[in-house]
Amino acid sequence: MLKKITRAISFEIVFFVLLSAITCFVLINYVDLTPQVDENFFFSTDDPQFRAEKRISELFQRRDTQLIINAEGDIESSKYLEKIEYLSQKIGSLPGVISVLSISTGPKTIENAFRSPLWRRLLVADNKKATNIIAVLEKNQDERTLPEIEKFARQAQADDFIIRISGAPYIAKLIQRNLLSDLKTFSVLSFIIFTLMILFIFRSFIILCATLLACLNTSMLTLITAHLLHIQIGILTVNLATIVFVLTLSHIVFLTHNWKHLIISLPPKKALIDSIKYTFPPSFWSMFTTLLGFLSLMIVPAKPLRELGISGAIGTIIAIAAAYGIYPAFLRKASAPKFKNEYFEKAEHLIYRKTKRKNKYFIFTLITLGILMLPGLTMIKHDPSIFSYFKKSGEISRGLRYIDRNGGSNPLIIVVKIKSGAKLNTTESYNQLWQLETSLENHEAVGSVISLPVLMAQAKQNPLSFFLSWEWLLEIMEKPAHNEIAKSFVTENRENGLFLLRMKEDKRAKARLEIIEELKKIVHDNGFDSEITGGIYALQGHLSKLVMSSLVFGLFRLLLLFFIISWIVSRSLPVSLAMTASISIIPLIVLGCVGIIQMPLDIIAAPSINIAIAIGIDSMIHMVKYWRNIKQEGKITKQKWEKVRKRLWDPVLNTMSVITLGFGVFLFSQFPPTQRFGGIIVFGSLLAGLTALYLMPWFVCNVFSRKKCEP
């Protein structure tokens, strides 16, 4: 009989090892693990926010996918002009480049550029120390286009010819490179730390292998399933593998802790079965709460958040399946655990005794922090500058900020129509358009404006234009000989005009959508209706608003669901209220702190708060499960809550330690969003462990119970 069982167990292990090998092979060979980030990653074409973009594309010939190459030097020298001409020719010859505008291709000389209403705004920096090369790119340019442009820029770089690059395609490429670099480096480092911590905690090679195999299978199967659903690795899902790895690990820590206590007094098979029976219900409810949290993101009209919701929901289900499907097959082969050596055991008991006597200090600190952080909730930078994605002191950030200060960098489109319904091809309309141009340029957030009146003024500089009407001039500028430039700024029926604004991001204090409303008011005050607003600037504003609203309402929904689930688990209103109040402290303190220290809450860092909450939920549900067991022994006293804390001290602390150290390595990233992502998880995980161990029992006994717990 024993031989049969041994063979069965061996077969299971071999099966799961082979399954892991096949899964790894499929992942490496058939799943693209490169983060897909471009300037249009904010929304899918089906999202409401993207309808404005489609409408603009129907009315006008789009030219706002631009790369700005800024060259600082002696702009009036012949040597400078030669270098600009060389760069313009090289860039214009690349696949994916529609056209190139510079002082060598447009005005021909810097003097002409200074005199021109169009070229002065488009090509000359505000400080008159640099000019721009504007490369208009195809929407889906060749992968080699940007690297080749960077290569040409490096070749031309000199002490007297300083080149800086900006524009939405370039920034998207930089974000992609940073995400890919961090994915390779810090995922491996965190995996190594997870491995060392698991080995230190459980002191078993079999348990280590089982844990890694279960967690890695969760990560791999989640990525493969997402790929089958045509969900690419994106700006939010780039950390998905690490997130589901942690969710699996949390289940395993509690399962192993219960098994460790039962294996001492029970036969191995019964110890495993009983530990699964005891641990699975709280694991299921914590999984269910996390699952609903991810599913709530699927109703958000923003592609990255929906993809995170779908992928996270898949990973949450796979995590519990791997923890209770793959892991037990190996745990059957494990022997009774080797406890920590005498030194660490004494240190652990000493820490427990010290903290036991100072429970009130932890409780006081958590509640005080919650109160002090309240004002920070109103100070959250939920719409941070695009420059917050790069180190402030870094060369890339300095270059982007320089271009931004000298003409703006982030494109915003406003489509206008005269309120009276008049056509835009008359002298009266031209004068009215110029007034609007001037008013928009005077706004502090606007770097430069290219529009129909600027184009018309440029056309009027031709001596022969005196004999031509505005309509004739527009028709001439719609010809291929002039790159059909007029089609980008006026509709065929001459009723709508397009204003292309390059917005300033550096030192922006207001939200993008708030600034857009101010600009729309300027349009209205000048006798126009703003028919459509679009461009990357507007899309980023909408996305930031959706991230914040999904964070606020998502947390509210999650807490409401958690209250219902906590009541199902505890069957006690005071306990469920205490659990909900305790878990609420985590986002309150974390988000309040984020607001007070003015940390940018970008789209990459925002979901990290949900991971910390998931860890806290898992710990609390397991504690309440044990509380229900000892509740049947008589009245609930403070000593019994102390018994709960003592029993689950190890797994709660172990989970907190593993996650804190594992995600702590992200703080050493050179990519600020990754640093913020790791930092918020580390801070939230510490709070999750402390609230579960100290705050929740105190709330039960001293706040929500009709009668205080007996000593």
Write out the two tokens for 289. Answer: 């709460």
CATH of 408-534, one of 1.20.120, 2.60.120, 3.40.462, 3.30.70: 3.30.70
pLDDT at 1: 41
Whole-Å CA distances, 528 to 414, 425, 522, 523, 583: 11, 15, 9, 5, 51
Long-range interactions of 185-188: CB distance < 8 A, separation 24+: 185/669, 186/665, 186/666, 186/668, 186/669, 186/674, 186/678, 187/241, 187/242
Least confident stretch, 199-208, 572-581, 684-693: 199-208
With cut-offs at 50, 70 and 90, classify the pLDDT of residue 2: very low
**CATH fold for the domain made of 343-372+542-711:** Multidrug efflux transporter AcrB transmembrane fold (1.20.1640)
The better pLDDT of the pair 442, 192 is held by 442
Average pLDDT (176-203) is: 80
Place of tokens 């009709």: 706
Quick check: pTM over 0.85?
A: no
* CATH architecture of the region 64-169: 2-Layer Sandwich (3.30)
- In this predicted model, what pLDDT tens digit does every residue of 335-389 receive, in sequence order? 665 545 555 555 666 666 666 667 788 888 889 998 999 999 888 888 888 888 8
DSSP state of 66: E
pLDDT at 4: 43
Which range, 238-252, 401-415, 437-451, is most confident?
437-451
**For residue 218, pLDDT beyond 90:** yes
Give the whole-angstrom CA distance, residue 530 versus residue 412.
Answer: 13
DSSP characters over 322-368: HHHHTHHHHHTT--SPPPPPHHHHHHHHHHHHHHHHTHHHHHHHHHH
Q: Among residues of the chain, what percentage have pLDDT more than 70?
A: 89
Residues 6+ apart with CB under 8 A from 180: 34, 35
Q: What is the total residue count of the chain? A: 711
**Which of helix, strand or coil describes residue 108?**
coil
**Which regions of the chain carry the CATH code 3.30.70.100?**
64-169
pLDDT at 9: 56
Element (H, E) at 608: helix 608-631
Average pLDDT (622-644) is: 73
Give the whole-angstrom CA distance, residue 20 versus residue 96.
Answer: 41
pLDDT at 8: 45
**For residue 65, pLDDT beyond 80:** no
**For residue 556, pLDDT beyond 50:** yes
- Of the candidates 461, 458, 417, 408, the residue with the CA atom closest to the CA atom of residue 436: 417
pLDDT at 519: 95
**For residue 45, pLDDT beyond 70:** no
**Which regions of the chain carry the CATH code 1.20.1640.10?**
1-48+204-338, 343-372+542-711
Place of tokens 């580390």: 682
**CATH fold for the domain made of 1-48+204-338:** Multidrug efflux transporter AcrB transmembrane fold (1.20.1640)
Separation of first and last alpha carbons in the chain: 51
Single-letter amino acid code for the residue at 81 = L
Least confident stretch, 368-377, 533-542, 638-647, 674-683: 638-647
pLDDT at 123: 86
Q: Give me the chain's average pLDDT, please.
A: 83
- In this predicted model, what pLDDT tens digit does every residue of 456-485 receive, in sequence order? 887 777 766 666 777 877 787 877 767 778
Query: Do 530 and 414 contact (CB within 8 A), yes or no?
Result: yes
pLDDT at 145: 86
Average pLDDT (312-323) is: 93
With cut-offs at 50, 70 and 90, classify the pLDDT of residue 5: very low
